[in-house]
Amino acid sequence: MSQPAIGVCYYPEHWDEQRWETDIARMAEIGIAYVRIGDFCWSRLEKRPGELDFSWMLRAMDMFHRHGIKLMVATPTAGPPRWMLDKHPDMVAIDANGHERRFGSRRQYDFSHAGYREECARIVTLLADAVGQHPALMAWQTDNEYGCHNTTCSWSPAARVEFQRWLAARYGTVEALNLAWGNVFWSLEYNDFTQVDLPNLTVTEPNPAAQLDFRRFSSDQVGTFNALQVNILKAARPDLPVSHNYMGRFTEFDHFKVAETLDFVTWDSYPVGFLEMGDEPAEAKAQYLRQGEPDFQGLHHDIYRAAGRGRWWIIEQQPGPVNWAPYNPDPLPGMARLWAWEAFAHGAEVVAYFRWRQFPAAQEQMHAGLLRVDDQPAPAYHEAKQVIEELRLTGIAGEARKGRVGIVFDYESEWAWQIQPQAKGFTHVGHVNAVYVALRKRGIDIDILPPTTASFAGYDLVIIPALFAWTDALREAVTSFEGHLLIGPRTGSKTGDFTIPQNLAPDLPSNLLDVKVMRVDSTRPEHGVAVKGGGTAQLWRERLETRARVEIEDEEGFPVLVSQGKVFYVGASGDRALVQRIVGQLLEEANIVPLALPAGVRCRVRGGFRVYVNYANGVAHLAPAPDEAGYVLGDATMPAAGVTVARLATPD
């Protein structure tokens, strides 16, 4: 990849046409290289059914072209216009309580509705015909933020029929489905696929296997909906890449699987909004009120870097206060710059701010842009400009360096533990995040590994936290791996059908790991048990039967960490101190030397440069790392929201 660049989201249809030229000239003047247009403009492309007008979009595209700006055009399908409802009254999604998700905001459609899919195919075909050959066009975006506002699952009649079809294709016979789901229990057996209902509105907990299959099905519906658009766009312009914008803290569909049909992925990063909306401890919320949680962005960058097979952008970057959290703090001066630098350090090709100018009307009128409503620059305008200059100055390019440590991340595991947590608050993401943070605080570059990874070759340490069921690929990867492995807790405790494996968890051959989880003790977090040597086991404690070596045990004498050669198994959820300790031990075992980072400072290596960002509220002092040959941006004294870039002595 050549040099990374800055972009912005622009909505020509929101402004008088007379303003376009000035806006675009101003973007070009500060060096904005990419602009996304098109999301949510369907009512302007097709005012009434069949009354099409692409001329305004083409005029805007011409202007961008004259100013040398490249465009990503989004398909408008996330905002079906009002007339669509008259044509297809049953196209709206139905929530789990059986209520319609009505017109009046956005994303009211049902992924399973055949009529709406046809409408999408039609408008995408027309869009590709109308603008697909434009010289400014460099990429497409399908739709906008699949699943946003809780829209992945719909409990509609259309979804029910499609779910039954999906099940028939998966199981072949209804007997096979009954067996897989354990339907003999509570007399839940079906005689025919057409009897299968969606797993909502039941008296008590629906069958977990049915719920998991419904989650898988709903995720696949997103995938086929996306593929429909991708195929049309590819037929029109086989050479143009297609992307979709993913979200933060969002796991409702399998982003890895959906990305298989995309050329690259983007995501929408709103660090301060996410922290406000999240369940981080009050102390973190106070400390990082104006910065966002220091590892939240990094984790998402790495997940989406994996989803995009190395190619990813930020297509919406928070520029100032947003409008959608309960409270919307103003970011610390410098954060709009820092977040962009951090994304570039993790390999982003482009960081685009959302949006060019604040819109004075409607739902998002309180959402900042690079420009204020009165056209004057908002703080992020200057920061974006600064990043553009700094990118030129440093010449950072190349790819995010491959990490020596990999962490397996799996969407199905997140769904499985949501469906049957056994301990309230036990999540896959939580366990992934805990080890991610522990590693990143030590300056370790991390790669996220999807569950389709069949080889861990090249890594020194791989961590598999709270994986629900082994995939064939992961079994193979684990068996052939020569580096260090940290597995657990709860890994391999189910089969893919959501049953307990005959062999019991973690369900690995005993020559690899001689451990069986005999029973599980789950307690409220405040009833944790101290661990000998430091830390607390809490929420989840496994009673292990093992002939492996006991490395750490708790005060009650139960093994917490055991090892067999280079394979380590952790049988408890830990507090931060315990996770830090175990990760520290594994780094030592694997001969990975951490960096001594000041509190609140994070870093990552890309293309021969190490980028440091300071999330702390005060000044941080860096100790130069042994592999560095001086700073090309900033220096060892980092102010709050500061960025320092070091050049590595030996570039990769």
How is residue 209 written in tokens? Answer: 């296997």
**How buried is residue 368: exposed, middle or buried, by Cβ count under 10 Å (0-12/13-18/19+)?**
buried
* Position 368 contacts ligand GAL (CB under 6 A): no
Examine the residue annotation and report whether 118 is marked as an active-site residue of this protein: no
Residue with tokens 């007399």: 187
Which C-beta is closer to ligand GAL: that of 245 or that of 614?
245
Stretch 94-133: interaction string toward ligand GAL, x if CB under 6 A: ----------------------------------------
Least separation in angstroms between residue 222's CB and ligand GAL is 16
CA distance 375 to 360: 11
Least separation in angstroms between residue 268's CB and ligand GAL is 5
Answer left, alpha or beta for residue 145, where phi above 0 means left and psi between -120 and 50 means alpha: left
How many chain residues interact with ligand GAL (CB under 6 A)?
Answer: 11
Which C-beta is closer to ligand GAL: that of 366 or that of 623?
366
Percentages helix, strand, coil for the chain (3-state, rounded to 5) are: 35, 20, 45
Closest CA to 36 of 362, 305, 229, 314: 314
Stretch 459-478: interaction string toward ligand GAL, x if CB under 6 A: --------------------
* Position 553 contacts ligand GAL (CB under 6 A): no
Which C-beta is closer to ligand GAL: that of 119 or that of 268?
268
The single residue of 46, 162, 252, 316 carrying the catalytic annotation is: 316
Which C-beta is closer to ligand GAL: that of 145 or that of 276?
145
Stretch 248-277: interaction string toward ligand GAL, x if CB under 6 A: --------------------x-x-------
CA distance 528 to 521: 11
Amino acid (1-letter code) at residue 625? A
What's the distance, Cα to Cα, between the start and end of the chain in Å?
Answer: 15
Stretch that binds ligand GAL, among 141-149, 371-379, 567-575, 635-643 (CB under 6 A): 141-149
Helices (H), 395-427: 411-419
Closest CA to 447 of 481, 401, 413, 491: 401
Residues in the chain: 652
Q: Is 155 in contact with 98 (CB distance < 8 Å)?
A: yes
How is residue 231 written in tokens? Answer: 């195929």
Which C-beta is closer to ligand GAL: that of 355 or that of 541?
355
Stretch that binds ligand GAL, among 118-126, 142-150, 327-335, 402-410 (CB under 6 A): 142-150
CA distance 619 to 338: 15
Which C-beta is closer to ligand GAL: that of 9 or that of 396?
9
- DSSP labels for 299-332? HHHHHHHHHTTT-EEEEEE--S--SSSSS-PPPP
- DSSP labels for 351-386? EEES-SB--SSSTTTTS--SB-TTSPBPHHHHHHHH
Which C-beta is closer to ligand GAL: that of 355 or that of 494?
355
Which C-beta is closer to ligand GAL: that of 111 or that of 246?
246
Q: Is 336 in contact with 353 (CB distance < 8 Å)?
A: yes
The single residue of 145, 390, 414, 542 carrying the catalytic annotation is: 145
Least separation in angstroms between residue 315's CB and ligand GAL is 8
Per CB under 6 A, the list member of 144, 218, 261, 291 interacting with ligand GAL is: 144
Which C-beta is closer to ligand GAL: that of 148 or that of 474?
148
Least separation in angstroms between residue 148's CB and ligand GAL is 6
Which C-beta is closer to ligand GAL: that of 263 or that of 364?
364
Least separation in angstroms between residue 476's CB and ligand GAL is 38
Least separation in angstroms between residue 640's CB and ligand GAL is 24
CA distance 97 to 87: 25
Alpha carbon 192 to its chain centroid, in Å, reads 37
How is residue 632 written in tokens? Answer: 């090309």
Per CB under 6 A, the list member of 220, 295, 302, 316 interacting with ligand GAL is: 316
Burial 188-208 (b: 16+ CB within 10 A, else e): ebbeebeebebbeeeeeebbb
Per CB under 6 A, the list member of 244, 367, 484, 541 interacting with ligand GAL is: 367
* Position 145 contacts ligand GAL (CB under 6 A): yes
Print the SS3 string covering 253-272.
Answer: CCHHHHHCCCCCEEEEECHH
How is residue 238 written in tokens? Answer: 């086989």
Stretch 209-248: interaction string toward ligand GAL, x if CB under 6 A: ----------------------------------------
CA distance 538 to 523: 7
CA distance 490 to 509: 16
Distances in Å between the Cα of 556 and the Cα atoms of 27, 150, 418, 467, 579 are: 64, 43, 29, 26, 19
Which C-beta is closer to ligand GAL: that of 78 or that of 645?
78
* Position 143 contacts ligand GAL (CB under 6 A): no
Least separation in angstroms between residue 247's CB and ligand GAL is 7
Print the SS3 string covering 480-498.
Answer: HCCCEEEECCCCCCCCCCC
Closest CA to 432 of 452, 420, 422, 417: 417
Least separation in angstroms between residue 67's CB and ligand GAL is 24
Least separation in angstroms between residue 23's CB and ligand GAL is 18
How many Cβ atoms from other residues are within 10 Å of residue 321's Cβ? 18
Stretch that binds ligand GAL, among 144-152, 373-381, 494-502, 558-566 (CB under 6 A): 144-152
* Position 322 contacts ligand GAL (CB under 6 A): yes
Stretch that binds ligand GAL, among 316-324, 418-426, 463-471, 565-573 (CB under 6 A): 316-324
How is residue 79 written in tokens? Answer: 């905002």
Please identify the residue of the shown chain whose CB is closest to the bound ligand GAL.
145
Least separation in angstroms between residue 609's CB and ligand GAL is 30
Per CB under 6 A, the list member of 354, 409, 558, 609 interacting with ligand GAL is: 354
Least separation in angstroms between residue 365's CB and ligand GAL is 11
CA distance 38 to 54: 11
Stretch 416-445: interaction string toward ligand GAL, x if CB under 6 A: ------------------------------
Examine the residue annotation and report whether 205 is marked as an active-site residue of this protein: no
Q: Is 483 in contact with 456 (CB distance < 8 Å)?
A: yes
CA distance 316 to 177: 42
Least separation in angstroms between residue 300's CB and ligand GAL is 14
Binding site for ligand GAL (CB under 6 A): 144-145, 148, 268, 270, 316, 322, 324, 354, 364, 367
Residues with a known catalytic role: 145, 316
